[in-house]
Amino acid sequence: CNRAFARNFNLQSHIKSHMGVRDFSCPECSKKFSRKHDCSRHCIAIHGYDKETGQPPEHLLAAREEREREQAQRERQEHAMREDLRMVEGQMSLPVGREMGPP
């Protein structure tokens, strides 16, 4: 490409676009962008973010918080399942005072 730029920053940004580097992702739909400005413009146009503050509307904040709570719960459940599996496979010693034997 023979484009010329007055600022090195703009040249570097343009080079990243040719390389397919997309460092910025939409917090709502995870669409990726090579420039932060394009990500912000997408959030305003598609998801209704406020133009002045760049903040998402309340309903999106509530939905994001719910997704984060659900993800944390899934991670806790997966961790507990891995711990149970280790216990069953004998990879984890029983705590003192919890020796196996007749009840």
**Does residue 93 sit within a domain?**
no
Could you give the C-alpha distances from 79 to 14, 27, 70, 91, in angstroms and in order? 43, 25, 14, 15
Q: Is the pLDDT of residue 34 over 80?
A: yes
Q: Note down the domain range covering 75.
A: 55-88
Residues 42-72 pLDDT 10s: 999 999 999 998 888 888 888 889 989 999 9
Query: For residues 30 and 36, what is the distance between their CA atoms, to the nearest angstrom?
Result: 13
Backbone angles phi, psi at 70, to 5 degrees: -65, -40
Same domain, 22 and 46: yes
Same domain, 31 and 76: no
Average pLDDT over the chain reads 86
Q: pTM of the full predicted structure?
A: 0.54
Amino acid 91: pLDDT: 64
Reported as a pLDDT band with limits 50, 70 and 90, residue 24 is very high
**Does residue 49 sit within a domain?**
yes
Same domain, 28 and 74: no
